[in-house]
Amino acid sequence: MTSIRKRPSHTLTELEGAALAVIQALNACTPYQVRQNFLSSRSREWSGSAGAVYPAIRRLHAAGLLRAKETEDARHSVRFSLSATGRKAFEAWLKDAERACGSGLDPFRCRADWWDILPAVDRRVLLRALARKLQQRLEMLEDLEARPDTEERRGLSLEMELHKTRLRWLERVLAEP
Amino acid sequence: MTSIRKRPSHTLTELEGAALAVIQALNACTPYQVRQNFLSSRSREWSGSAGAVYPAIRRLHAAGLLRAKETEDARHSVRFSLSATGRKAFEAWLKDAERACGSGLDPFRCRADWWDILPAVDRRVLLRALARKLQQRLEMLEDLEARPDTEERRGLSLEMELHKTRLRWLERVLAEP
DNA sequence: GTGCCCATGTAATCTGTTACATGATTAG
DNA sequence: CTAATCATGTAACAGATTACATGGGCAC
């Protein structure tokens, strides 16, 4: 009897799902392009390190989710696109409400419960510093939004709203006793 | 010459930081108590698996951040508390605005950019399903908040606000063309 | 042709996961 | 006394990170 698999074949990691999304969007692209897409993305969710991207794409290919087409150029690089299985797996990842609605690992929320244990003065200083940093990120995102060449407008506006929510929360805590 | 260390001694993982927070809060506790605290936490950020907690505490101890005091009971279990170095490291973790204000790996935001590529009908069905799921989580959190024995009220209210923000974002997208 | 960037990786390591193991304690 | 459960782990493995390697193409 085989033991229960940790990750059943139909479940993708977040990075794998995102890689499929990029490949789907660019419709046949090289691992390098996927990596560049991750690197240029303003979200620092992943480093987009070669050591993550190339093996992930190899895994997806080995699992039959990707079809490879070798190009003619001298570097004989390989362009990948989604197979039928791959499209199905990607759709499942995209529609996975359970994972989408989990909170993930939010470093802000993770610390929020503990800031209270600081001495009052320290805490106020820290919360104000956090508010400044959030404000700063928000302005950065606003600049990004203003640029006409920015993709990912959906995620951008969502991220800005989330930052604003954190800011409001900070201000509410600061306004307390 | 030694190569640059990936993780300099003064940087903690999120789990290590959270473990220090629990140990600090309980003021001298066993690894088991730390683990129970993670397990009982409503946040599913980590599994609180033994294979993560025990090694993490051993690491922190080996790094001199924790002091161990063996108890007298037959299980001769060990209670840990923060050393001076440990308090300093924990404070640094707690006050790390750079990490706190990053967005972490948010599975909702991660997918938000790609939902647009679905056919309009599919997308509306999905977004409504997501809204229901978020609503459901929100109600669960409200119940939790209503219970008098709930700790982590700060993080709880923040998490609820973040969920509400996601809900509003969904409704805004649904209200479009 | 030499130096530099492009594109693709590999190696070592680190942290976390699941699944299993094991001795102590307590309920019956 | 025996069985469940408490408390503490270990083993095998997965997936990511950093740092390094390598070979092709192009600027000068």
| Three-class SS of A98-145 | HHHCCCCECHHHHHHCCHHHCCHHHHHHHHHHHHHHHHHHHHHHHHHH
Amino acid at B142: E
Contacts 24+ apart (CB under 8 A), B27-30: B27/B81, B28/B69, B28/B79, B28/B80, B28/B81, B29/B79, B29/B80, B29/B81, B30/B77, B30/B78, B30/B79, B30/B80
* Phi, psi for B148 (deg, rounded to 5): -70, -20
HSE-CB at B140 with a 13 A cutoff on CA atoms is 12
Give residue B2's pLDDT: 34
Q: Which is nearest to B42 in space by CA: B160, B144, B165?
A: B144
Contact B159/A103, CB-based, under 8 Å? Answer: yes
Which residue of chain B comes nearest to A125, CA vs CA? B95
* pLDDT averaged over every residue in chain B: 90
Give residue A1's pLDDT: 33
pLDDT grade, residue B152 (50/70/90)? confident
pLDDT grade, residue B37 (50/70/90)? very high
Contact A106/B103, CB-based, under 8 Å? Answer: yes
Q: Tell me the average pLDDT across B90-106.
A: 94
Nearest Cβ partner for B116 among A109, A117, A154 = A154
Distance, Å, B114 CA → D19 C1'? 33
Measured between beta carbons, the chain A residues lying within 8 angstroms of B87 are none
Q: Which is nearest to A124 in space by CA: A161, A54, A173?
A: A173
Contact B44/A116, CB-based, under 8 Å? Answer: no
Q: Which is nearest to A141 in space by CA: A158, A156, A151?
A: A156
Q: Tell me the average pLDDT across A16-43.
A: 92
Q: Tell me the average pLDDT across A1-8.
A: 42
SS3 B78: strand
pLDDT at A5 over 80: no
The larger pLDDT score, comparing residue B75 to residue A170, is at: A170
pTM: 0.92
Place of tokens 């161990």: B68
Give residue B12's pLDDT: 96
Task: Quickly count helices (H) and strands (E) in chain A.
Answer: 8, 2
Q: Which is nearest to A68 in space by CA: A81, A57, A86, A55?
A: A81
pLDDT at A164 over 90: yes
Give residue B104's pLDDT: 86
CB A158 within 8 A of CB A141: no
* Phi, psi for B66 (deg, rounded to 5): -120, 145
pLDDT at A102 over 80: yes
Measured between beta carbons, the chain B residues lying within 8 angstroms of A17 are 110-111
**Nucleotide whose C1' lies closest to the alpha carbon of residue B38:** C16
Cα separation, B102 vs A108, in Å, equals 8
